[in-house]
Structure 1
Amino acid sequence: MARRRFGERRIGHAGTLDPSATGVLVVGIGNATRLLRFATAGRKTYECDIVFGIVTNTLDAAGETVATHDMRLDPSGVAEAAAAFVGTISQLPPMVSAVRVGGRRLHEIARAGQTAAREPREVEVYRFDTRPTDDPLVYRTRVECGAGTYVRSLGADLGAALGGGAHVRSLRRTRSGAFTVAEAAPVAEAVLREPAELVRDLGQIRLSGDETARVRSGTRLRADRYEGSGPWALVDPDGILVGVHERSGDRLRATVLPT
């Protein structure tokens, strides 16, 4: 849909979003796709309901029920169990994910009625907050995590940790890196932004007019003016992105140019 909307075949995104999920999906168009890797690694925040007692084959409400459990929960016990998942954890990608195994995506293999061997991955969970609802088996959840974390798997694993099972419903990504759901718009209503928006999580160096001309002609700036190793987003006096640079010896070297 984005290709038709903007008449551009080069489209990329900063992290997949489940078909049944809603919320923020950061999209790069044309040359801006080169900058997406700087937006991909940012923290992501999700909200969802975890429904305890029912396990589905997709770990969410779109799947078929494969098991049920009689569970008795209390808010403090759920919160304590969720807290055990905060930190660096090992997570098995679900069969309905977009991970490739043998050149095929897992969800394609699953739709064909097959299974595939999957390798656990280390992911970061920074927050896993739960609160009860009017339904004693449904908890409203907020998860802040690193790239590559599957919230559906977190929900299922929390259910197992509490002696039963669970699935996720109403999954919504409310933040992706520096981008929030308040800024989001449907593709049909979206407007293009400056490429500098994709790297606004990076440290920024605002160049003078003379420095801008020198950098665009290939001159490397001295690095001793800046702390750290970068990368930095270099912008001209009008805030237009000139490039992403990092330290290379005593100079700044272009990592990505927007054109």
Structure 2
Amino acid sequence: MARRRKGRDISGWLVVDKPAGITSTTVVNRVRWAFDANKAGHAGTLDPEATGVLAIALGEATKTVPYITDALKAYEFIIRLGQATNTDDAEGEVIATSDTRPDDAAIKSALAGFIGDIMQVPPQFSAVKVDGERAYAKARAGEEMDLAARPLWVEELLLADRPDADHAVLEMTCGKGGYVRSIARDLGDVLGCKAHVRSLRRIWSGPFQATDGITLDQLDAIARTPELDARLLPLEVGLADLVEVRCPAESVARLRNGNPAPVIASGVDYGEEVWASHGGKAIAIGSYRGGELHPTRVFVA
């Protein structure tokens, strides 16, 4: 017999405004404890020194995590010009310097080359796997790796502010898998001045905004109370990028058992991924085929 998870069967999303100096996993664990939840996960890791939106899914909402992970995200970050580090951020050792300081026009011109479909090499200190081991573990051991470039969609990248000659504030909207540290590193190389990320904040991720996030101090203050439960967003928020179809009452049981069933849809293409609702609650996610939903994920009532 499988061992039962400890904690409550509670489902939904909590938006945390993550502070610097803590890992994303630690935040997940604190949220899970605060709700006494039996299951929790996050949609998109933030580096320990990064701040901003960390969307935490509880219970059945964890089944919607991939749709938030795949959604567009926006970042505001400060780059330090004139210095490259081995981690591509302020936590690393300076490995190269330059006296060159580009003007605003040069920065704006260079940013144009980072918009659209680009190929990006992850930082040496990153969580990508190399021969079954995390790259950061190899980097900490002094090993230099030839990491493969990965595709990234950059919707927007602009110069937001220029506090002084050594710093630039950038704002970027991008798709899944983007490394802001790589953007800073590569931009510094294009400009011939070297650069790294000094600070980073995720300001929104899919439907979640940093301005709506709860701080860890606030979380601790109302942990395990109805007031905290009231902050939980419904799991359906995580399905905002999918088309919703309606599930008649007679189809609910069939879908929840993983079987195809008739749904009510309008303007949906054959084979399109959709989610089915009944009474406003998510029943299943799946492929729409000729009036039926063929479920790939189902939600427990």
Q: TM-score with structure 1 length normalisation?
A: 0.90
Segments ≥4 residues shifted beyond 3 Å:
6-10, 206-219, 222-226
AA aligned to 2:122 is P
AA aligned to 1:116 is M
2:198 equivalent among 169, 173, 176: 169
1:110 deviation in Å? 1.9
1:203 equivalent among 227, 238, 243: 243
**Alpha-carbon separation, structure 1, partners of 2:53 and 2:160:** 23
Matches within 5 A, 1:1-259: 1-8=30-37, 10-187=39-216, 189=219, 191-207=231-247, 209=249, 212=252, 215-216=255-256, 218=259, 220-221=261-262, 225-228=266-269, 229-237=271-279, 239-259=280-300
1:210 deviation in Å? 5.2
SS class of match (1:36): helix
1:233 deviation in Å? 2.2
- Structure 1: 5+ residue stretches without partners: none
1:76 deviation in Å? 1.2
Cα displacement string for residues 72-108 of structure 1 (whole angstroms, at most 9, x for unaligned residues): 3211111010111101111111111111112221122
1:216 deviation in Å? 4.4
Cα displacement string for residues 233-255 of structure 1 (whole angstroms, at most 9, x for unaligned residues): 22222x22111132235521112
Contact 1:48/1:169 (8 A) holds in 2: yes
Cα displacement string for residues 129-160 of structure 1 (whole angstroms, at most 9, x for unaligned residues): 01442311211100011100101110111111
SS class of match (1:157): helix
SS class of match (2:164): coil
Cα displacement string for residues 108-141 of structure 1 (whole angstroms, at most 9, x for unaligned residues): 2222332333211111111110144231121110
1:82–1:29 Cα change, 3 Å? same
Contact 2:245/2:263 (8 A) holds in 1: no
1:110–1:128 Cα change, 3 Å? same
Of 148-157 and 123-132, deviating more is 123-132
SS class of match (2:261): coil
Cα root mean square deviation, aligned: 2.3
Of 74-83 and 215-224, deviating more is 215-224
1:209–1:224 Cα change, 3 Å? closer
Contact 2:107/2:159 (8 A) holds in 1: yes
SS class of match (1:16): coil
1:61 deviation in Å? 1.2
**Alpha-carbon separation, structure 2, partners of 1:216 and 1:256:** 9
SS class of match (1:2): helix
SS class of match (1:25): strand
Q: TM-score with structure 2 length normalisation?
A: 0.78
SS class of match (1:26): strand
- Structure 2: 5+ residue stretches without partners: 1-29, 220-227
Q: Work out the percentage of aligned pairs sharing the same amino acid.
A: 35
1:215 deviation in Å? 4.4
AA aligned to 1:205 is V
